[in-house]
């Protein structure tokens, strides 16, 4: 039987409760989920990749099905490298869907072996994004309800 491997790509700067919700809900679907911290040259990150990786490993330390890794370049090339047949994406709203749909279609053209799977976030997490959390951090806001307890700033 072929192991069902999903890549959940993102910058996770920082990882939020919304990200964790998507991963936890996807666990019954896949044999392994690799949380891939991708280098996006268009995004200025607030936290070093080592810190983001450590948070993810700490959050999922009791779940051997979840792994964290860092990659550069095309997501589909990384999928090929790790033999992932699925790309997991969380969707909060129609704007996310429109953006993600275009990327998914391009990925399918470049690497037809990987299927993109969209999971709608639970309604409670719709307003939460890493960029909103970063703005809160920069402006001294309280982030504790938006990030897992392992994310200590």
Q: Is 39 a catalytic residue?
A: no
43 is catalytic: yes
Listed as own residue / partner, the contacts of 99-107 with beta carbons closer than 8 Å and 24 or more positions apart are 107/75, 107/76
Out of 43, 61, 77, 144, pick the active-site residue: 43
**3-state SS, one letter per residue, for 67-117:** EEEEECCCHHHHHHHHCCCEEEEEECCHHHHHHHHHHHHHHHHHCCCCEEE
Instruction: Look up residue 122 and give its DSSP letter.
Output: P
Give me the active site residues, please.
Answer: 19, 43, 92, 130
């Amino acid at each position: 039987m072929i192991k069902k491997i999903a890549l959940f790509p993102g910058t996770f700067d920082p990882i939020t409760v919304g990200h964790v919700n998507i991963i936890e809900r996807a666990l019954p679907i896949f044999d392994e989920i690799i949380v891939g911290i991708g280098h996006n040259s268009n995004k200025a990150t607030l936290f070093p990749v080592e810190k983001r990786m450590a948070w993810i490993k700490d959050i999922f330390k009791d779940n051997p099905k979840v792994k964290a890794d860092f990659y550069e370049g095309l997501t589909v090339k990384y999928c090929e490298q790790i033999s992932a047949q699925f790309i997991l994406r969380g969707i909060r709203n129609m704007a996310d869907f429109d953006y993600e749909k275009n990327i998914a279609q391009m990925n399918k053209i470049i690497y037809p072996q990987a299927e993109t799977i969209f999971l709608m976030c639970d309604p409670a997490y719709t307003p939460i994004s890493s960029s909103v959390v970063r703005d809160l951090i920069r402006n001294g806001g309280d982030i504790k309800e938006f990030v897992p307890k392992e994310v200590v700033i």
